[in-house]
Structure 1
Amino acid sequence: MNALKMRAEASELSYAREREFQFRVDTQSKMQLALWAAEKLGHVDPNAYADELVTEDIIKRGGAIERLNRDFAEAGISVEGDEILSRLSAVLRQVSADMAA
């Protein structure tokens, strides 16, 4: 029975580590995406904008993408919806590879 308990605890620890890693990758990716958007939008403080977007995405899953679409539309900047998602996908791959190394 002790071996089963140890195995369960190891499994839970592994799961927790994986979730934490995924959270860090997701957060860093959204940060990179937000910095790209801040440059296109001409924000004076790109880091503050990135922090806002990441916080919004934590509060509401997908909130960062919605906010980016809204901000680009309000600024009158034409950005294809697929461009944002493809940029996010590329950033996710890069951040994941960097963090795994």
Structure 2
Amino acid sequence: MNSFEKRQEGFEKKFALDEEHKFKAFARRNKLLGLWVAEKLGITGDAASAYAKEVVTADFEQPGDDDVLQKVMRDLTAKGVALTEQQVRAQMDMLLADAVAQVKAGT
């Protein structure tokens, strides 16, 4: 294997690792969002954990964050919790920063 092939292989491995970390960070963010929304909905304990899993699963419906946002907004509206999309998006952004830090730290 020549140096070009080694370098190419290194870039491919780094790309794969970066994508894995990105996936984990978004999944972690969605779990944290689910727990935050569960609290707003008055859901606690195992039910809150189950709700957080539903939020994580909702992310697989379509690309991007819209599927997650739509799910939590529907749930919040159904329970009469007055939060705007902008407030939820701001929380998602904040939680993503926390999730990235957690994934980098391996926690």
1:69 corresponds, among 65, 70, 73, to 73
Write the mapping of 1:20-35 to structure 2, written as runs, cut at 5 A: 20-35=20-35
Letter in 1 for 2:90: S
The equivalent position to 2:83 in structure 1, one of 79, 82, 97, is 79
1:34-83 residue CA offsets vs partner (Å, 9 max, x unmatched): 10001111225011111111011023232111101111111111111111
Task: With a CA cutoff of 8 Å and minimum separation of 6, indicate the structure with the bigger relative contact order.
Answer: 2
Q: In 1, distance between residues paired with 2:69 and 2:87?
A: 11
1:8 maps to what in 2?
A: 8
Please state how far the C-alpha of 1:26 moved relative to its aligned partner: 0.7
Counterpart for residue 55 of structure 1: 57
Say which structure is richer in helix: 1
Which amino acid in the other structure matches residue 54 of structure 1?
Answer: V
CA distance in 1, matches of 2:17, 2:60: 18
Q: Normalising by structure 1, what TM-score? A: 0.90
Distance 2:94 2:62 in 1: 22
Q: Which runs of 4+ in 1 moved over 3 A?
A: none
Scaled by the length of structure 2, what TM-score is found? 0.86
Which stretches in structure 2 are left out of the alignment for 5+ residues? Answer: none
Question: What SS does structure 2 have at the residue aligned with 1:36?
Answer: helix
Identity of aligned residues (%): 29
